[in-house]
Amino acid sequence: MLNASWQRCRVHFMRNALAHAGKSGRRVVSAFIATAFAQDDAAAASAQWRRVADQLRPKLPKLATFLDEAETDVLAYMTFPPQHRTKLHSTNPIERLNGAIKRRTEVVGIFPNEDAIVRLIGAILLEQNDEWAVQRARTLETIAPLSDDPIVSLPAIAS
């Protein structure tokens, strides 16, 4: 079984955090928080996150509390190998897929029946699955060690 955790999207988190910073402090706060994301491993990121929250606490206590509560969810991706982190730290892949479905269904406009919708969206999902399978094949060796059970193996990729 893979270690499961909840990953909060970094982009959406930053939007929420900057709402606590006030207009004049947004650039500074954004730069402070970004220093935690720039760390090489989970321990260093967490330590930097704590330093940032503690530095902000005197002037922006609500933001510091927000950082305290969000740390585990926002930094969950740091426990994965570096080559996977860019895919995991945001919801962009899901949003991109939803955007592709929306673009392609808007071209059709009106579907003659439910089966036509299922065929089109199914084709889009199969196309995306093929792209992700190619990416997965390149990174299968790096994700396999994350399994808790050495007997468990990831399914073979259809060629």
Average pLDDT in the 79-90 region?
Answer: 75
Each residue's pLDDT tens digit, 11-41 = 889 999 999 988 888 999 999 999 999 999 9
Total structural domains within the chain: 2
Domain that holds residue 65: 10-80
Residue 108 lies in a domain: yes
Average pLDDT in the 63-84 region?
Answer: 88
Residue 24 lies in a domain: yes
157 versus 82: the higher-pLDDT residue is 82
Each residue's pLDDT tens digit, 102-134 = 998 999 888 999 999 999 999 998 888 887 777
Least confident piece of the model among 57-61, 128-132, 135-139:
135-139
Residue 151 lies in a domain: no
Percent of the chain with pLDDT over 90: 45
Residue 142 lies in a domain: yes
Residue 43 lies in a domain: yes
pLDDT, position 152: 45
pLDDT, position 67: 96
Spell out the SS3 assignment of the chain.
Answer: CECCCCCCCHHHHHHHHHHCCCHHHHHHHHHHHHHHHCCCCHHHHHHHHHHHHHHHCCCCHHHHHHHHHHHHHHCHHHHCCHHHHHHHCCCHHHHHHHHHHHHHHHHHCCCCCHHHHHHHHHHHHHHHHHHHHHHHHHHHHHHHHHECCCCCCCCCCCC
Residue 52 lies in a domain: yes
Residue among 67, 52, 72 nearest 7 (CA): 72
